[in-house]
Amino acid sequence: MGYISIFRPDLFQDRSILITGGGSGIGRCAAHELSALGAHISIVGRTEDKLKQVQQEIVEDGGGCDIYSADIRDEERIKELVGEVLSARGRIDGLFNNAGGQFSAPIAKMSKKGFSAVIESNLIGGFVTAREVFNQSMGDTGGSIVNMSGNVYNGVPNFSHTAAAREAMTNFTKTAAVEWAYAGVRVNAVSPGFVESSGADTYNSGTEAENKWKEAIKKMNSYVPMRRKGLEAEVSSAVCYLLSEGAAYVTGANIKVDGGLGLGVPWYMPPELEREVAYSGFHRAVKPNILSER
């Protein structure tokens, strides 16, 4: 059994697609779907063991995958890495700027170092990667870039750093879309809401803020009009669309994949869920441990 995508099997045949943060979560899922659609995947991450595991999965499923160990906050390494991908594949047709990370802490107790680290991971690293892909490849050949943003429009208590970074990434996406349109490069973003991703399991420092966050995650369905969390495959579908030729006239857009989170007014409580319609095409999806705990 392979990935059950809604798209035609040869949609990305022989395309070269680079995915940062491809060792887990949404990045891993997108790597599988894009590979199932014919693309050769290059995944980037800090933990080589995770990358090797995803590579093995993709190869077992009949695809091709190269791995590159790197911290996207390291500008020189990213320049070098993009060159390595081009040496191996000849071009980069698509970039999913997915890598990032955060931790839970209130503003009053957050250090400058901690705040800066998340800004570098969730914003500056994505900027550097997009810039290098454009300068070294897409500026000459065209292509499509999808940046990871997030549902942060109303602020996110205890996550001020990632909220600032993701909102900035949305604006960077719009600006890059204008500056790079002449070269045939489209730049868009996706903004997931609450998703059943392995990223939820990173909140394990034991701080009071993170313990509260872990408890809140289990109750989040009540905040979403669709009364459920999203699945990795539902975000991946949006990424694949934006990378595809079907989105040839779409640039500077930000697709929200959040079940309606943030819509409505505080005094209206949506009715209980009568029917659930979810798309789960990822054959290797794993439920986060935090959502399995009782």
- Mark the ranges of the chain whose per-residue pLDDT is less than 50: 294
**What's the rounded Cα separation, in Å, for the pair 18 and 91?**
10
**What's the rounded Cα separation, in Å, for the pair 200 and 195?**
8
Supply the pLDDT for residue 293: 54
pTM over 0.85: yes
Supply the pLDDT for residue 202: 60
Region of 260 please: left (phi>0), alpha (psi -120 to 50) or beta.
Answer: left
Supply the pLDDT for residue 210: 67
Q: How many residues does the chain have?
A: 294
Q: Where are the domains of the chain?
A: 16-262+280-292
Supply the pLDDT for residue 157: 86
Supply the pLDDT for residue 31: 98
Q: Is domain 16-262+280-292 in CATH 3.40.50.720, yes or no?
A: yes
- Alpha-carbon torsion 202, 207, 209, 213, what sign? positive
* Torsion angle (degrees, nearest 10) of CA 49, 96, 127, 202: -40
Supply the pLDDT for residue 292: 64
The distance from CA 115 to its chain's CA centroid, rounded to whole angstroms, is: 20
Supply the pLDDT for residue 286: 87
- Alpha-carbon torsion 194, 195, 199, 205, what sign? positive
Q: What percent helix, strand, coil does the chain show, rounded to 5?
A: 45, 15, 40
**What's the rounded Cα separation, in Å, for the pair 246 and 67?**
28
The predicted-structure confidence for 75-120, as pLDDT tens digits, reads as follows 999 999 999 999 999 999 999 999 998 888 999 999 999 999 999 9
- ∠ CA 176-179-183, nearest 5°, is 105
Report which of 15, 20, 22 is spatially closest to residue 40, judged by C-alpha positions.
15
- Tell me phi and psi for residue 187, to 5 degrees: -130, 120
Supply the pLDDT for residue 294: 41
Supply the pLDDT for residue 55: 98
Supply the pLDDT for residue 201: 59
**What's the rounded Cα separation, in Å, for the pair 61 and 160?**
39
Structure tokens at 125: 């690293």
